[in-house]
Amino acid sequence: MSFGSDMGEVSTSSDGFKAELIVEDQMPIPISFDKLELESYIEGYQIIIRLGIEDNPGSKNELTLEAGQLKLSPAMTYSIGPDSMPIKASFGWEGLVDSLPSSYWGSLTVNSLSTDEKGKTAIKVSFSIEWETKDGKEMTLNGSELQLST
C-alpha cells in the first residue's frame, strides 16, 4: 500500500482508490482500503462497489456504494443519499465514523465505463458524501478516484 501526500490510495493491477475524510476545517485524513470489489455488474445495471481492509475483519473500515437497477452512463453525475436517491452509501472508519447517519447527501460521477468483448467491465468514478454528526460537525468523504474492473 502506498500513500499520496494528502490522499489515501491503494492500487492493484488496474484497480485504484484515493480518498480523504474532512472533519469541519481540519486537515484531511487519508482513507485507504486494500480490498476493492465490483459486484453484480450486468450490462450497465445493478452495481455494488465494496471497499474494506482485508487483514482487519470485523473492523468498521468499509465503504459501499450501491446503484441497484440504475443504468449508469459515462460522463454522468448521480445523487447519493438514503431512500429515494439513485445511489445509496454506507461508510465507517474506526475511531472516527461508526456509520453514516440517516441523513447524508452527495454525488457520484462516472468518469468512464466500458465492457470489452470478453465481458470484462471497467469503471472509474469520483464521489463526495457529506453529513452532519450528532454534535453538529460537518463531515465530507471525498473520493477523487475509484477505479475497478471485473
Position 3 in a domain: no
Predicted model pTM: 0.79
Q: Which residues face 87 on adjacent strands?
A: 80
Only one residue has cell 470485523, namely: 58
Instruction: Render pLDDT for 78-101 as a digit per residue (tens, 0 to 9).
Output: 999 997 788 888 888 877 888 888
Give the pLDDT of residue 131.
93
Number of domains in the chain: 1
Position 35 in a domain: yes
CA atoms within 13 A on the CB side of 109: 9
Residue count of the chain: 150
Instruction: Render pLDDT for 28-78 as a digit per residue (tens, 0 to 9).
Output: 988 877 666 666 455 544 566 666 655 555 556 788 888 877 778 889 999
Position 25 in a domain: yes
Position 99 in a domain: yes
Instruction: Render pLDDT for 108-140 as a digit per residue (tens, 0 to 9).
Output: 999 988 878 887 777 888 999 999 998 899 999
**Residue 103 sits in which domain range?**
8-149
Position 83 in a domain: yes
SS3 call for 143: strand
Position 41 in a domain: yes
Bigger pLDDT: 127 vs 15: 127
Position 79 in a domain: yes
Q: What is the CATH number of the domain that holds 85?
A: 2.40.128
Question: What does the alpha-carbon distance between residue 80 and residue 106 come to, in Å, rounded to a whole number?
Answer: 5
Taking only Cα atoms into account, the Rg of the chain, rounded to an integer number of angstroms, comes to 15
Position 81 in a domain: yes
Only one residue has cell 468512464, namely: 112
**35 neighbors 54 (Cβ within 8 angstroms):** yes
